[in-house]
Structures are given as C-alpha cells and as structure tokens.
C-alpha cells in the first residue's frame, strides 16, 4: 500500500459527508491551527482554508462524495490526497469515533507519512467510468429476471428451454403461455417485459460508452480490442477501470492477480483494491 509522504506547511484532514465536512488543519509541528465543522460547500471550505493556502495539502477518506472536493482542490492548485478506506485502520479501529476525531486522525496521518493512498481518478473520464459501472448493475438486474423465469420453469418441472434466454431472439412472445396458472403467467410476463426494457437501456449505454472510448483513448482501446478474447465490453472495463497502467508498480498490483494461486490471492486482492 502506497502512503503519502509529502512534506508541507499545513495538513488538512477532512471528514467528508454528504452535507458537511469536519476540517482539521495541523501545521508542520503538529499543532492544531484550525478545527471546525463546515457545510459541504466550495465557498465555505475555501474560506476556511484561505489562511493556510501557502503550503497546504488536503486529505479525505474515499467515500461517495469525494468527487467535488477533489475537483475543487484541483481547480485551486491545492494538493489533494484520497485515503483508501480499507486501510484506514487508525480511524475504524478506534473505540471512540466522531467527526472531530476522524478529521484529526486524517490530518495526523497525512503529516506522519501514514496516509494510505487511493487513486484519484481523473475527472475527464470519471463519469464515463461510472456509467460503465451502472451498465454492469443493469446487466446483473436483467440476469436476475432471467434466472427467475428459469427457476419458475423448474418449479413446475416443465421442459427445459431449447435456447438460452439471454438472447432476445430466443425469448418468444408466447413463452409465458407454457405456464397455466394466471398469476404465474403474469409474473413471467412481467419478467419478460423488464428484460426487454433492460436490453434497450443496456444497448443504448453500450453505444454511448464505445463512442466515448474511441474519443478518450482510441489507441489503447484499439489495442485492447486486437487481443483475442477481448471484446468491446471487456475492452471498456480494462480501459476505464485501469486508466493509467503506470500507477501499478508491478503486475501483482493489478486486478488480474485475483486469478493467482490461492496462497497468494489474499495479498493480491488487497493490492488490487487500489483500483478505487
């Protein structure tokens, strides 16, 4: 796990929430020079840290609302460090846990060189990556509806479906008619309608994602597609989840190490968590 070791005049630990951020600032001697709970707004944060802007670094734990704070710091040339939530043992392991305590520990970890770093994904491709992850969620939801139809078919010991229901062409309009009970038939019909709706949405997302990949990094996307076994979707996942391959010091740090032998899989999985 990489830890932040930069030296600065001031270290700001931010315990970030959706509507508030508790900010604790230490100087280079470890003395608290600012400590306050602030509303989660750019103006409030910039006003609070204005006296410490010369030589300030900001650290926040990785949670769902970190995007705007990272972008704000980038816009105002303030170094920003994203903390890896799984390695924040100094925070999660404590018996007493408050916003004030957490912010103070974040600042102290920054100053002491013990701040575990997560990857600050570039904002230019961040929303496209999030859309790709949303597509994966839709695919899982669609799979649940397909599984429900197959399980319902097994409940009544009916003949197996001749073809996989994953493909739209194999889901005939009269598929629900193999069930005689009206409630069961309505349930399966609902599944089929939702599957069709998901098919439409997933296809639209995939077209959008492929267009953006050809704009964001056409060379890398083309090279990935040239590898046997890597189709457009896997190519998208590799492109947007890895981003810059240089951020991995060695091959063992990438997500591919989850396929390593069992005795090494635990350590590899922990290292792969840097894909935040």
pTM to 2 decimal places: 0.85
Per-position DSSP letters for 37-106, written without gaps between them: EEES-HHHHHHHHGGG-TTEEEEEE--TTHHHHHHHHHHTT--EEEE-GGG-HHHHT-SS--HHHHHHHH
Residue 267 structure tokens: 């350590």
Average pLDDT, stretch 93-97?
68
Average pLDDT rounded to a whole number, residues 31-47: 98
CA dist., res. 66 & res. 84, Å (int): 12
- pLDDT, residue 94, reads 64
Q: What is the pLDDT confidence band of residue 153, given thresholds at 50, 70 and 90?
A: very high
Interval 173-224: pLDDT, tens: 899 999 999 999 999 999 999 999 999 999 999 999 999 999 999 999 999 9
DSSP 10: E
Cα distance between residue 103 and residue 142, in whole Å:
41
Question: Each residue of 232-265: pLDDT tens digit?
Answer: 999 999 999 999 888 887 777 665 433 333 334 4
Query: For residues 122-135, b (16+ Cβ closer than 10 Å) or e, as one string?
Result: eeebbebbeebeeb
Q: Are strands 32-39 and 20-27 parallel, antiparallel or unpaired?
A: antiparallel
Q: Looking up tokens 């397909």, which residue turns up?
A: 146
pLDDT the model gives residue 93:
63
Least confident of 24-33, 164-173, 212-221: 164-173
- The string of DSSP letters for 110-174 reads HHHT-EEB-----HHHHHHHHHHHHHHHHHHHHHHHHHHHHHHHHHTTPPPPSS-TTSGGGS-TT
- Percentage, residues of the chain above pLDDT 90: 81
CA-closest candidate to residue 197, choices 171, 178, 220: 171
């Amino acid at each position: 796990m990489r830890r932040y070791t930069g030296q600065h005049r001031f270290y700001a630990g931010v315990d970030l929430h959706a509507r508030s951020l508790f900010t604790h600032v230490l100087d280079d001697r470890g003395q608290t020079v600012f400590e306050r709970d602030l509303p989660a707004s750019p103006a409030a944060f910039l006003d609070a840290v204005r006296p410490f802007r010369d030589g300030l670094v900001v650290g926040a734990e990785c949670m769902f609302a970190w995007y705007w704070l990272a972008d704000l710091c980038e816009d105002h040339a303030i170094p920003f460090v994203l903390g890896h939530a799984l390695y924040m043992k100094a925070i999660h392991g404590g018996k007493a846990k408050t916003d004030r305590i957490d912010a103070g520990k974040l600042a102290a970890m920054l100053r002491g060189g013990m701040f575990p770093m997560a990857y600050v994904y570039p904002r230019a491709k961040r929303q496209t990556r999030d859309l790709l992850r949303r597509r994966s969620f839709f695919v899982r939801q669609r799979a649940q509806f397909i599984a429900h139809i197959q399980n319902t078919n097994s409940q009544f010991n009916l003949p197996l479906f001749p073809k996989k229901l994953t493909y739209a062409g194999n889901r005939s309009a009269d598929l629900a008619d193999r069930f005689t009970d009206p409630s069961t038939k309505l349930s399966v019909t609902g599944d089929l309608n939702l599957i069709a709706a998901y098919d439409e949405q997933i296809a639209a997302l995939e077209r959008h994602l492929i267009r953006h990949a050809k704009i964001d990094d056409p060379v890398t996307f083309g090279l990935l597609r040239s590898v046997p076994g890597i189709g457009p979707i896997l190519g998208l996942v590799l492109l947007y989840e890895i981003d810059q391959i240089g951020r991995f010091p060695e091959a063992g740090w990438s997500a591919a190490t989850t396929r390593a032998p069992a005795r090494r899989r635990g350590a590899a999985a922990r290292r792969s968590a840097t894909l935040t």
